Amino acid sequence: MTMVGVIAGCKAQQAPQTAPSETPSEAPTVAANGNDIIECAIHGGQWFLRECEVEKTRDDTGALVLVVHHLDGGFRRFKVVTDGRGLETADGFEQAQTSVVDDRLDVRVGDDRYRFPATIRHSDKPA
């Protein structure tokens, strides 16, 4: 069989026409170093994939800061706030837009979107 015959005999694999809108639930949620892994859609990506690693640290005031690392080497820093928004950008010009959906906090900064697990605390004090 000639090389042309071998190549012609192989069937090309076609990519699916649609991709899942989120990562399957069996995908890991914790990295080998213990950091959480969350779903994200970076640079205007259409689909959420569980591939952003979240590093927890503290700023100079002691406030909790989440550093979200992208696979391409980029990152975003978020400061945890207790005013109902959940997170705000720790630096940079772009502001975070947040919304609570079911049991998660959806965050958008520019073209990047993130899905953080959320803990909703209800105040015992009347407003």
Residue 121: its pLDDT value, please?
60
DSSP 11: P
- In a domain, residue 106? The reply is yes
- In a domain, residue 25? The reply is no
pTM: predicted TM-score of the whole model, two decimal places? 0.72
- In a domain, residue 96? The reply is yes
H or E element in which residue 77 lies: strand 75-80
CA proximity to 56, closest of 85, 35, 28 = 35
- In a domain, residue 108? The reply is yes
Residue 24: its pLDDT value, please?
58
pLDDT per residue, tens digit, the chain (127 aa), is 443 333 334 444 444 444 555 555 556 688 889 899 999 999 999 999 999 999 999 999 999 999 999 999 999 999 999 888 899 999 888 999 999 998 899 999 999 999 999 876 654 444 4
What is the span of the domain harbouring residue 62?
A: 36-117
Residue 16: its pLDDT value, please?
44
Provide the domain count of the chain.
1
Residue 82: its pLDDT value, please?
86
Q: Is the C-alpha dihedral spanning 101, 50, 41, 16 positive or negative?
A: negative
Q: Is the C-alpha dihedral spanning 18, 98, 65, 94 positive or negative?
A: positive
CA proximity to 108, closest of 37, 39, 59 = 39
CA proximity to 118, closest of 76, 73, 87 = 87
